[in-house]
Amino acid sequence: MTIGVDEDERAFPLAEDSKALEESWLQICSRLKGEVGEVEYRTWLTKIALGPVDGDEITLLLPTRFLRDWVRSQYGDRLSELWNQVLPAIRRVELQVARPGDPVAPPLALVTEDAPTASTPAIDVEDAPRSAPEVRSDLVTTLDTRFTFDTFVVGKPNEFAYACARRVAEKPSSVGFNPLFLYGGVGLGKTHLMHAIGAELVQSGNVSVAYMSAEKFMYRFIAAIRSQSTMEFKEQLRSVDVLMIDDLQFLIGKDNTQEEFFHTFNALVDAGRQIVVSADKSPSDLSGLEDRLRTRLGCGMVADIHATTFELRISILESKAAASGVVVPGKVLEFLAHKITSNVRELEGALNRLIAHANLFGRPVTLEATQDVLHDILKAHDRRVTIEEIQKRVAEHWNIRLTDMSSARRARAVARPRQVAMYLAKQLTSRSLPEIGRKFGNRDHTTVMHAVSRVAELMERDPAFAEDVELMRRMLES
């Protein structure tokens, strides 16, 4: 092929005209951003730097071979078209891996402004560990044997999720339960339930189960791209009977992995396989996931695991203490269940420490020892106690209505806890007697004074009562 004189003449000055090139690149970037969306643009295209022009060919540089291959396969044709439209002298685009000394993106104002920020997560493929696992020949994951249905304690906050999980374990892919979407706050048992489903299914017969976190899904996907084995990856995923992906919220902002997951999801559901997904929010609240994916995720059964109640925390502690073989007094369990309300993981961590301590030193677990051993954990959970909180806790403990804290009822069953709450308000807050009185149905300060001395007197006389009040004080203490 001969190159026409005109073309040669046009091309040569272009190579010198870096301003024209940069302006063209700015326009192209802006159009690409509009076409592919903000996140995708940031993830992949801000990594491109302008390279040399040779005749009608411009070279674009990428920092790694992986990125070059990815950009070439996904955007190569579009980049050529855009260059040709914006700067007709460019007929071809070459994508190359930058060598030391080559320009590094982002070289342009537009790109610099749009550089990823901490609040806009994007896949940075270079964040994937260098040792990212290559796609293995099997995806069947080792399940944590501690997480079974037997060891999962059921209570009001999780009974629905538990029932759904059991149903899926018994009859995978039943209508209305595919996908099963489990969601709830941190450390409330989502992973536990997924492993329990897996364990049950594996035990029940010839079922292949793949469980992985969404993060691992992404790394495996990237590793597959790197090693040019995406087909194998897809085939492996699509060959399992049950696919479970944990912590799906990780895929927010990871558009390419989301896309891959979406296709896998569809292929599996269409083939009658079961999908189980967990996340920290419901599908409709997972903004940042593609709409079509959210819609499909919400199509099966969506089950919420609510924050634990005091009763559930007690049951969990009792079950875990019993399994450990160490005697943990009820008062200590109550104390922990009152103090550590954030999630089961922390509660379990605190109990495990107590048990380890008891085993190590061969000492019985007491309330005093608990406060000592868990000093740091308890401190982290400390906060300023309010009169309202004292009233609530005392009402709960003595089983009276909260409204009775301010009511005129004088029956002992109501009046005594009310006096305890006044006593504790005096002990634990800096409120004056008249202020405390106002919070208890506008009572006079002398009533509060009387309550405080009466409770102190009773505590001296009745050790069981004293222990109850003392326990309550410790629970509330900041």
Ligand X SMILES: Nc1ncnc2c1ncn2[C@@H]1O[C@H](COP(=O)(O)OP(=O)(O)OP(=O)(O)O)[C@@H](O)[C@H]1O
Binding region for ligand X (CB under 6 A): 147, 151-153, 158, 184, 186-192, 247, 280, 316, 344-345, 348
| 287 bridge partner residues | 289
Q: Is residue 120 annotated as involved in ligand binding? A: no
Q: Is residue 191 annotated as involved in ligand binding? A: yes
Place of tokens 């955007």: 75
Nearer CB in complex with ligand X: 381/450: 381
Cβ 187 to ligand X, closest distance in Å? 4
Cβ 304 to ligand X, closest distance in Å? 12
Nearer CB in complex with ligand X: 153/225: 153
Distance between CA 159 and CA 168 in Å, rounded?
Answer: 14
Cβ 323 to ligand X, closest distance in Å? 10
Cβ contacts of 179 within 8 Å, gap of 6 or more: 265, 269, 274, 275, 276, 277, 296, 297, 299, 300, 301
Q: How many residues does the chain have?
A: 478
Nearer CB in complex with ligand X: 316/365: 316
Q: Is residue 187 annotated as involved in ligand binding? A: yes
Nearer CB in complex with ligand X: 350/394: 350
Distance between CA 16 and CA 55 in Å, rounded?
Answer: 11
Cβ 186 to ligand X, closest distance in Å? 4
Of 228, 293, 285, nearest in space to 256 by CA: 293
Nearer CB in complex with ligand X: 190/273: 190
Nearest residue (beta carbon) to ligand X: 189
Cβ contacts of 214 within 8 Å, gap of 6 or more: 245, 246, 247, 248, 249, 250, 251, 257, 261
**Amino acid at position 456, single letter:** A
Name the H helices within 239-290: 255-270
Asked whether the beta carbons of 105 and 43 are under 8 A apart, the reply is no
Cβ 392 to ligand X, closest distance in Å? 24
Q: Is residue 288 annotated as involved in ligand binding? A: no
Distance between CA 371 and CA 10 in Å, rounded?
Answer: 82
Cβ 182 to ligand X, closest distance in Å? 8
Cβ 146 to ligand X, closest distance in Å? 7
Distance between CA 135 and CA 142 in Å, rounded?
Answer: 16
Asked whether the beta carbons of 232 and 161 are under 8 A apart, the reply is no
Place of tokens 């084995």: 229
Strands 57-62 and 92-97, bridge-based pairing: parallel
Which residues fall in the annotated binding site for ATP?
A: 187, 189-191
Which residues fall in the annotated binding site?
A: 187, 189-191
